[in-house]
Amino acid sequence: MALAGGALLVALWSGLARLGWTLPVPDDQFPLAHGPVMVIGFLGTLIGLERAVALGRSWPYAVPALAALSAVAALAGVSARLSALPAAVAALVMAAVFVLLYRQQPSAHFIVMTLSALAWVGGNVLWLGGSPIFRLVPWWAAFLVLMIAGERLELSRIRRPPARVRALFHVSVTALIAGILVSLFAFHFGLRLAGVGFVAIALWLIRYDLAWQSARQSGLPRFMGVCLIAGYFWLLAAGLLWIFFAQFFAAGLYYDAMLHAIFLGFVFSMIFAHAPIILPTVTGLALPFHNTFYLHAGLLHLSLFLRVAGDLGWRPALQRWGGMLNVLAVLLFLANNVRSILSVRPTTRSGAMKTTQRLAVVLPLILLLGCNRNSADQKTAANETPEAAAMSFPPAVPPPIARTKPAHVVVDLAVTEEERSLADGVTYEFWSYNGHTPGPFIRLRVGDTFEVRLDNSKGKLTHTVDFHAVTGPGGGAGALMTNPGEKSAATFKALNAGLFVYHCAAPPIPAHMANGLYGLVLVEPEKGLPKVDREYYVMQSEFYTEEEIGTPGLATFSSNKGYLEKPEYVVFNGHVQALTGTGSLQAKVGETARLYVGNIGPNLTSSFHVIGEIFDRVYREGSLADPESDVQTTVIPAGGAAIVDFKLQVPGDYALVDHSIFRTDRGALGILSATGNPVPAVFNSHKADAGSGH
Ligand SMILES: [Cu+2]
């Protein structure tokens, strides 16, 4: 119990540091431990403990013990793999606990809880395999949501819901599980499907759970009912966010909103509701309800609302303050509960005090442990509060930067080498940043200091990054050269505004670029760019394969064709048809669209053109100083970029092409679809009007 409490406090501390509050932290890895410590150290330990106590046997205590061990390991800076191992075993034991319970009493809610434990296994195994945290977060979210939903299903049995209602519940759970499974292969689609699952589970709970009945009573039942209902609405909000902002699920403000709507809004509402029941079962201490409990619950929802508003409105200061108040709400919750325990039972005071004392000892110990490890590396200077850089996957672009001052931002890049689809029936071993070719779009502001952390722990080869936005040797390639199994970091200043390419420059450089390691960085000028309605990220590249274009199966890299400059594929956004069909870009008539277009080459110059449009503004070669007007086709050199703005005047499909037109047959084709009413004054097809008799 003391360990779970200690983990909660450490997680809160690291959360604040993560939000950019200037706090003494042991080292720069500490804020990154926030997620694992909260989910495994606190929640995993707590849930495991609750079940072990209920079961009354000794072996289930392995769950909380191993979960706590994993959190301590993560904080002590042991490698991710070693921290993940005890967590994975803990999750397996938890699954065994629920299988056992199901065999004792075969009812559906134990199946749901077993699935929950298995989702936890899945997330921890991904962690063990070296996946970046954002990839396994959906699994951890499913673990907690299914666990809680299973417990509510257990309670709803009192009402004897009809088969149809139970079936609805199972369909919702299935959608969530399908979502996290699909996320292994199609990350964003899987996230959206999981989002649908969250929405469905939330609606089911809002409609059929006993919470409303409780809320109509008084005292503790009412408090619990209110907390539960508020939590369900946060789950609903989280599901909608996952559906609409899946593209941003890696870092940044939208990511913050998508995570905390679930982990704080939903999960902590449930904890607040159940604490007055669970804590007495686990500790044997009475915990009578007080009206002051509404204070911590109210503060949680208000502060989380502020935080999510800050996230979605792109107001980092609001998000930071909301986060600070979130922490205060949780501390107030702890204080209120301890006070309630102490208030009634003076005889057990010594016992309660012992728990508090133990907590007070464990927490500084854990902090000290981390501090000693790397105290020379305390570089969180008072005026530099690091925040996660705004990043998004193609074709999304993060919203404009609202800050009016330079900041210290962190760019997390992790290299993957994995087989994905290059064209219909054709796969290729892509080397990518953060699992995507092209890599994330990174949005900075001129004067920003950006700290790049390159994680090559999964790679089989040495990789690095050369940022064209960096002034200095190799654009940072030497500083960031990272061997397989290692990580590195370097800090740069964004001196010049503009749209810049970044790419791998590990030898042999051509292969590293041809295989997919590239992306774009926008460095906004002080006053930002003129506002537009839609922004999209498009990047052209070539693929050189031994096999002729379209040959089914795994295509292999041909350096020979690279030297001859004879690509088999020329594509936008990493593969054939990334920007057609369901991938088409969308806009409405009357809106102005902006495309950030990069071209990595590695060999060819692009003659970028949008069929049926004239670019109202072109920021040639990525220079923001002096855009030109009324351009039909703009040249984008290999290793260069351009920004094009155009107003959609007439509805229809507009094709993005490289006007070296044979390349459209090799894949260089995208669609921007404009919807709206016809504007005959601008464009009138007389052929279509043939029957109208004018
Ligand atoms: Cu590389």
Whether the upstream peptide bond of residue 438 has omega within 30° of 0, thus cis, is yes
State in Å: Cα 639 to ligand 1 middle.
16
pLDDT at 337: 85
pLDDT at 68: 87
State in Å: Cα 124 to ligand 1 middle.
27
State in Å: Cα 181 to ligand 1 middle.
29
CB 474 within 8 Å of CB 505: yes
Q: Locate tokens 């990334």: which residue?
A: 578
130-146 per-position pLDDT tens digit: 787 888 899 999 999 99
pLDDT at 379: 34
**DSSP β-bridge partners for residue 207:** none
State in Å: Cα 462 to ligand 1 middle.
6
The terminus-to-terminus CA distance of the chain in angstroms comes to: 83
Domains observed in the chain: 387-526 (2.60.40.420), 535-675 (2.60.40.420)
* pLDDT at position 513 over 60: yes
Residue 193: CA count within 13 A, CB half-sphere: 20
pLDDT at 693: 43
State in Å: Cα 457 to ligand 1 middle.
13
pLDDT-derived band at 313 (thresholds 50, 70, 90) equals confident
pLDDT at 255: 87
252-290 per-position pLDDT tens digit: 788 889 999 999 999 999 999 988 888 887 777 888 888
Dihedral of the alpha carbons of 248, 250, 251, 256, in degrees to the nearest 10:
70
State in Å: Cα 664 to ligand 1 middle.
28
* pLDDT at position 552 over 90: yes
pLDDT-derived band at 340 (thresholds 50, 70, 90) equals confident
DSSP, residue by residue, 274-292: HHHHHHHHHH-------TT
State in Å: Cα 54 to ligand 1 middle.
52
State in Å: Cα 600 to ligand 1 middle.
14
pLDDT at 570: 97
State in Å: Cα 472 to ligand 1 middle.
19
359-417 per-position pLDDT tens digit: 444 444 443 333 333 333 333 333 345 788 999 999 999 999 988 889 889 999 999 99
Relative to beta strand 628-631, strand 408-423 is unpaired
Q: Which residues, in sequence order, are CB contacts of 690 under 8 Å at separation 6+? A: none
pLDDT-derived band at 550 (thresholds 50, 70, 90) equals very high
State in Å: Cα 552 to ligand 1 middle.
26
Mean pLDDT of 546-562: 94
State in Å: Cα 198 to ligand 1 middle.
38
pLDDT at 49: 85
State in Å: Cα 504 to ligand 1 middle.
5
State in Å: Cα 490 to ligand 1 middle.
17
605-651 per-position pLDDT tens digit: 999 999 999 999 999 999 999 999 999 999 999 999 999 999 999 99
pLDDT at 387: 81
Length of the chain: 694
User: Residue 462: is it exposed, middle or buried by C-beta count within 10 angstroms (0-12/13-18/19+)?
Assistant: middle
372-376 contact pairs (CB < 8 A, 24+): 373/26, 373/27, 373/76, 373/77, 374/26, 374/27, 374/77, 375/26
- Say how far apart CA 493 and CA 497 lie, in whole Å: 11
State in Å: Cα 478 to ligand 1 middle.
12
Percent of the chain surpassing pLDDT 90: 58
State in Å: Cα 465 to ligand 1 middle.
8
State in Å: Cα 431 to ligand 1 middle.
7
* pLDDT at position 120 over 80: yes
State in Å: Cα 117 to ligand 1 middle.
37
Mean pLDDT of 306-325: 86
Percent of the chain surpassing pLDDT 70: 90
Mean pLDDT of 309-332: 86
Mean per-residue pLDDT over the chain, rounded: 87
State in Å: Cα 503 to ligand 1 middle.
8
Q: Report CA Rg, the chain.
A: 27
State in Å: Cα 463 to ligand 1 middle.
4
Mean pLDDT of 565-589: 95
Q: Which residues, in sequence order, are CB contacts of 129 under 8 Å at separation 6+? A: 458
State in Å: Cα 545 to ligand 1 middle.
18
State in Å: Cα 497 to ligand 1 middle.
26
State in Å: Cα 488 to ligand 1 middle.
14
Tabulate helix, strand, coil % of the chain (nearest 5): 50, 20, 30
* pLDDT at position 332 over 80: yes
pLDDT-derived band at 105 (thresholds 50, 70, 90) equals confident
State in Å: Cα 318 to ligand 1 middle.
38
- Say how far apart CA 134 and CA 255 lie, in whole Å: 9
pLDDT-derived band at 674 (thresholds 50, 70, 90) equals very high
* pLDDT at position 485 over 50: yes
State in Å: Cα 115 to ligand 1 middle.
38
Q: Which helix (H) or strand (E) holds 233?
A: helix 219-245
pLDDT-derived band at 123 (thresholds 50, 70, 90) equals very high
Coil/strand/helix, residue 456:
strand
State in Å: Cα 427 to ligand 1 middle.
19
Coil/strand/helix, residue 110:
helix
Mean pLDDT of 464-483: 94
Nearest Cα to Cα of residue 381 among 24, 11, 7? 24
State in Å: Cα 393 to ligand 1 middle.
19
